[in-house]
Amino acid sequence: MPRSQPESKRRPEALRLRKLREALQLSQRDLACEFRVAHTAVSSWESGARTIPGPVLKLIEIYEDQAGIQAPKPERSLSTEPPGTGISRNIKLSLAVAGLAARFAGRFLLRWAGASPDPARDSAKLVKTLGNLKGLMMKAGQMVGYVQAGGIASLREPFEILQSHANPLRTDLIESVVEEELGAPPRFLFASWNPVPLGVGSIGQVHEARLRDGTGIALKIQYPGIQKSLHSDLKYTRFIDLFGTLIFRKQDRESFVQELACQADLECDYVREREYQERFRRIHEGDSTIKIPATLPEFSSSRVLAQENLTGRSFRSFCEVASQDRKNEAGIVLFRFAFESLFRHRILNCDPHPGNFQFQDDSVIFHDFGSVKEFTPEFVADFALLLRALLAKDRTKVAELVVRMGYVPDPACFDFDHHFEMISFLYSPFLTKGEFTFTPAFVEEIWARVILNNKNRASSSLPRDWLFVNRLQWGLYSVLAELRARADWNRLLQSLL
């Protein structure tokens, strides 16, 4: 029998439900879908006509906790269960997506979504949620932690922890993956094994171990069930397509999420990642300024990646202690690594978040090759031609190329002069003769011109190949801005084209 309460008890519960629904900006019908109940049930609960069942009250408590409507529960230092696809994860993801969309979509969407008057407090709550959930939402949170865009600078600091120091998964769960993949627990496979991770990522975490011959290695171990979690998360990333079509009105719906789905599967394949890591290592083998850890196939599998344990300063530490000359040198290395790979080898490592870089006295160590994309010769050739046309200030050629590359669905409705001025600013570091300094203000201005003040938003489409090129470019620009990197980028680019 369902519990029955007098009206004096039902009224406060009805108020809690209505307050929560309004905080989440959901209609009664939307909340009914979220709770998987009839619309009439939510209506009768909110009016106080019916008692709210105990399980629903528990859901309300979880939502209130995540929304900060009541005092949060004590923090845990470990995630106690693997990323999953159950209702608890879905509830937290619903709220996390709402918060992340409000923070990342720009000032005009912040107003539409009703931004909180205390963004720092809410960001900290969201960071905790994303760090425990891992997956695509944690990856999105990592981007908020370093991307200079959309007026989110005041929100970035709490998210920086997601680059390498989010909450780790329980040790026994991680060790069970090693045993399943390599045939024995890590304490039997290695002379020593450190259960405390070196770093925690969105798909796996990294642990130190030592081989019987004394060699120190790093083991990247995938979270159990993470691939299913990633696919479950995709339904909560529909706001990316929504946001994409708000910016590029002619954009095909689902194209961004389809590309994310494809890349999510690829990132969970550590055999593929190891092959790409070795390929990048061969490409840059003769360059002493670029270091990529060698992998150990005998201790690697589809969910475990063993590699030599190369270490250096973290990005944040490097920014704090390095001289500006050294930061400039590191910025040049990051630039060359990205654009040499693309223009000379048609391959791009598309995840430039700072947790993937470490810095030594005269070199940069590159980690994580899960998000790698290969491009057709035609795409790379057209991209190079586009940059050459910009360098030559050839408006006609630029117009021809943006149409050919699929950016302009209907040339009759497109302002080519405005587009030329916009991308000339976007690539102004490469068009400037002499030295140019990347700054946060410059990257913010790009955001304003490309997203907020783009006259061609209603007549543009972003081809799928450009999704990850832009992810790399925007992320790299943000990293270079954090370094205040200064160089002759024009000369560097021309040497690659």
Amino acid identity, position 60: I
State residue 235's pLDDT score: 59
Confidence of residue 240 (pLDDT cuts 50, 70, 90): low
Give the CA-trace dihedral at 253, 254, 256, 258, to 10 degrees.
-160
Q: Are 484 and 327 in contact (CB under 8 A)?
A: yes
User: How many angstroms separate the CA atoms of 219 and 35, rounded?
Assistant: 40
Mean pLDDT computed over every residue of the chain = 79
Highest average pLDDT, of 4-18, 156-170, 204-218, comes from 204-218
Whole-Å CA distances, 397 to 376, 388, 428: 21, 9, 18
**% of the chain exceeding 90 in pLDDT:** 43
Q: Is the pLDDT of residue 438 over 90?
A: yes
DSSP structure class, residue 74: P
pLDDT of 446 strictly over 50: yes
- The pLDDT assigned to 40 comes to 87
3-state helix, strand, coil in the chain (%, to 5): 60, 10, 30
**Span of 104-108, 389-393, 401-405 with lowest mean pLDDT:** 104-108
Highest mean pLDDT among 3-12, 31-40, 101-110: 31-40
More confident residue, 254 or 88: 254
Q: Where are the domains of the chain?
A: 7-67, 316-497
Strands 347-349 and 199-200: unpaired
Count Cβ atoms below 10 Å from residue 160 Cβ, excluding itself. 20
Strand partners, 306: 219
Q: Quick one: pLDDT at residue 432?
A: 95
* pLDDT computed for residue 402 by the predictor: 94
Please state at what angle helix 87-104 crosses helix 135-144, rounded to 10 degrees: 20
* Position 282 pLDDT exceeds 90: yes
* Fold (topology level) of 7-67: 434 Repressor (Amino-terminal Domain) (1.10.260)
pLDDT digits (tens, 9 = 90+) for 287-313: 999 999 999 999 999 999 999 999 999
Judge whether 120 and 153 are in contact, CB under 8 Å.
no
Query: What pLDDT, on a 0 to 100 scale, did the predictor assign at position 434?
Result: 95
Global pTM reads 0.69
Collect all residues with Cβ–Cβ distance below 8 Å to 475 and sequence separation of at least 6: 143, 146, 147, 351, 352, 353
Q: pLDDT at residue 269 above 60?
A: yes
Please answer whether residues 202 and 142 qualify as being in contact, where contact means their C-beta atoms are separated by less than 8 angstroms.
yes
> In terms of pLDDT, which residue wins out, 250 or 63?
63
Give the end-to-end CA distance of the chain in Å, rounded to a whole number. Answer: 74
Max avg pLDDT among 102-111, 255-264, 396-405, 461-470: 396-405
Is 281:294 a contact under the CB 8 Å cutoff?
yes
For residues 173 and 23, the model is more confident at: 173
pLDDT of residue 62: 67
What is the Cα–Cα distance from 307 to 296, expressed in whole angstroms? Answer: 5
What backbone torsions phi and psi does residue 221 show, to the nearest 5 degrees?
-120, 130
User: Does 465 score more than 50 pLDDT?
Assistant: yes
DSSP string for 184-241: S-HHHHSSEE-SS-SEE-SSEEEEEEE-TTS-EEEEEEEPTTHHHHHHHHHGGGHHHH
- 332 pLDDT band, cuts 50/70/90, is very high
Whether 416 and 399 have beta carbons less than 8 Å apart is answered as: yes
